[in-house]
Amino acid sequence: MGNEQSGDVIVVGGGVIGLTTALVLAERGARVRVWTRDPVERTTSAVAGALWWPYRIEPVALARTWALRSLDVYEELAAQSELTGVRLVEGVLGEATLDEADGWATARLPGLRPTTAEEYGGSGLWARLPVIDMTAFLPWLRERLLKAGGVIETRTVSSFTEVGAPVVVNCTGLGARELVPDPSVRPVRGQLVVVENPGIRTWLTSTDDDGEMAYFFPQPGRLLLGGTAVVDEWSLEPDPAVAEAIVRRCAALRPEIAGARVLGHRVGLRPVRDAVRLERELLPGGRTLVHNYGHGGAGITVAWGCAEEAAGLAASSTA
Instruction: List, as residue ranges, the binding site.
Output: 44-45, 157, 172, 215, 270, 296-301
Annotated binding site for D-dopa: 215, 270, 297
d(CA 88, CA 90): 7
- Whether 236 and 124 have beta carbons less than 8 Å apart is answered as no
Q: What angle do CA 232, 250, 80 make, to 5 degrees?
A: 85
The residues that bridge with 269 in the sheet, in sequence order, are 189
Residues making up the annotated binding site for FAD are 44-45, 157, 172, 296-301
Distances (CA, A) of 15 to 144, 173, 213, 289, 293: 14, 8, 25, 18, 11
63, 276 contact by CB (below 8 A): yes
First to last CA, the chain: 11
Q: What is the three-state SS of 21-59?
A: HHHHHHHCCCEEEEEECCCHHHCHHHHCCCECCCCCCCC
Query: Could you tell me if 63 and 192 are in contact, meaning their C-beta atoms sit under 8 angstroms apart?
Result: no
Apex CA 279: angle with CA 49 and CA 148, to 5°?
Answer: 60
CB atoms within 10 A of CB 89: 19
Residue 50 amino acid letter: A
Ranges of beta strands (E only) in the chain are 8-12, 31-36, 86-94, 113-114, 124-132, 151-154, 167-170, 186-195, 203-207, 213-219, 222-226, 230-231, 262-282, 288-295
CA–CA distance from 130 to each of 101, 296, 300 (Å)? 16, 18, 10
